[in-house]
């Protein structure tokens, strides 16, 4: 399990590249639904594309599609950090609300082989605004993750053990008919960081609150241009080259 530090790339860095065998689908087909998702990894640029179709016809308005890390994944020690940064590539905004899902408990399987449900910690976000079609970032602060059980809020959950995050997932839900259809989210990287304060940032704007009934959260969106950058130069140095120029948290006092 990778140890804590000032900044740590979970997925998408040179030392932690996107790897197909780290991920598996977890769609509503397990409940008789018809939603489908894939995670396609490309090398030029080096991104992971979460895409598929969210169907709400089979389950009476409900539906979900997700990709998650496999049970054998080592997990992460995120203690010492206070935010996850999702760096998104391109400008293919489809208006969907996505959810980053974390678990700190090992998977328990029922006698029939299916996974037993457990508490998840979740943060909703939308595709960030972009600069010149290159991409943007969404900052998800640890303090804003909410505990849920099967998508419903949990009021008395034990705090998430950030030193032992066993599973990471990316989900899109119908929120009972509020969204459906095709979706796409091209992700450059997911990074844990000790985030600078809003007052210190000059490239930070606040996104509209993402309202999902009782789960109302606010994602901080950051956008900006690398000095002297262009679409072609960003492509040549890769997705992370652009993000590294954008993402420059100030040293902690």
Question: Within 10 A of 197 (CB to CB), how many other CB atoms are there?
Answer: 11
Q: How much is the average pLDDT of 188-202?
A: 67
Q: What is the CATH number of domain 7-246?
A: 2.60.120.430
Q: Spell out the domain ranges in the chain.
A: 7-246
pLDDT band at 114 (very low <50, low <70, confident <90, very high): low
CA of residue 34 relative to chain centroid, distance: 22
Residue 229 near residue 241, CB atoms below 8 Å: no
State the maximum Cα–Cα separation within the chain, in Å, rounded to a whole number.
Answer: 58
Question: Which of 99-113, 157-171, 188-202, 228-242 has the highest average model confidence (pLDDT)?
Answer: 157-171
Q: Read off the pLDDT band of 199 (50, 70, 90).
A: very low
Determine the pLDDT at residue 200.
34
In angstroms, the CA 160 to CA 76 distance is 13
Find tokens 């065998």 and name the residue: 21
**Distance, CA of 40 to CA of 59 (rounded, Å):** 26
Close Cβ partners of 232 (under 8 Å, ≥ 6 residues apart)? none
* pLDDT value, residue 147: 96
Q: Is pLDDT above 50 for 165?
A: yes
For residue 241, give the 3-state DSSP assignment: helix
Residue 39 pLDDT greater than 70, yes or no: yes
CB 65 within 8 A of CB 54: yes
Q: What dihedral do alpha carbons 181, 182, 183, 186 form, nearest 10°?
A: 180
pLDDT of 87 strictly over 70: yes
Q: Which H/E stretch holds residue 68?
A: strand 64-69
Region 211-233: what's the mean pLDDT? Answer: 37
Mean pLDDT of 87-100: 84
Has residue 188 got a pLDDT over 70?
A: yes
Looking at the chain, list the stretches that DSSP marks H as alpha helix, in order from N- to C-terminal side: 231-237, 239-246
Count of CB atoms within 10 A of residue 52's CB? 20
Residue with tokens 């602060």: 141
8 A C-beta contact, residue 124 and residue 208 = no
Contact 154, 119 (CB under 8 A): yes
């Amino acid at each position: 399990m990778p140890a804590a530090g000032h900044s740590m790339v979970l997925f998408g860095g040179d030392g932690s590249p996107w790897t197909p065998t780290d991920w598996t689908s977890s769609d509503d087909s397990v409940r008789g639904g018809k939603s489908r998702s894939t995670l396609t990894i490309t090398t030029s640029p080096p991104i992971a594309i979460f895409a598929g179709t969210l169907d709400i016809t089979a389950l009476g308005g409900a539906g979900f599609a997700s990709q998650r890390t496999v049970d054998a994944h080592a997990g992460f020690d995120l203690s010492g950090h206070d935010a996850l940064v999702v760096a998104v590539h391109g400008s293919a905004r489809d208006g969907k609300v996505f959810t980053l899902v974390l678990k700190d408990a090992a998977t328990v399987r029922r006698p029939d082989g299916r996974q037993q449900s457990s508490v998840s910690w979740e943060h909703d976000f939308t595709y960030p605004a972009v600069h010149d079609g290159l991409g943007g970032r969404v900052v998800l602060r640890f303090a804003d993750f909410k505990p849920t059980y099967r998508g419903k809020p949990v009021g008395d959950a034990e705090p998430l053990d950030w030193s032992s995050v066993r599973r990471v997932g990316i989900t899109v839900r119908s929120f009972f008919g509020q969204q459906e259809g095709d979706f796409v989210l091209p992700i450059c990287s997911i990074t844990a960081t000790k985030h600078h304060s809003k007052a210190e940032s000059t490239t930070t704007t606040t996104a509209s609150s993402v309202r999902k009934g009782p789960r109302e959260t606010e994602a901080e969106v950051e956008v900006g241009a690398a000095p002297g950058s262009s679409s072609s130069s960003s492509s040549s140095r890769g997705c992370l080259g652009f993000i590294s120029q954008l993402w420059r948290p100030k040293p902690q006092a």
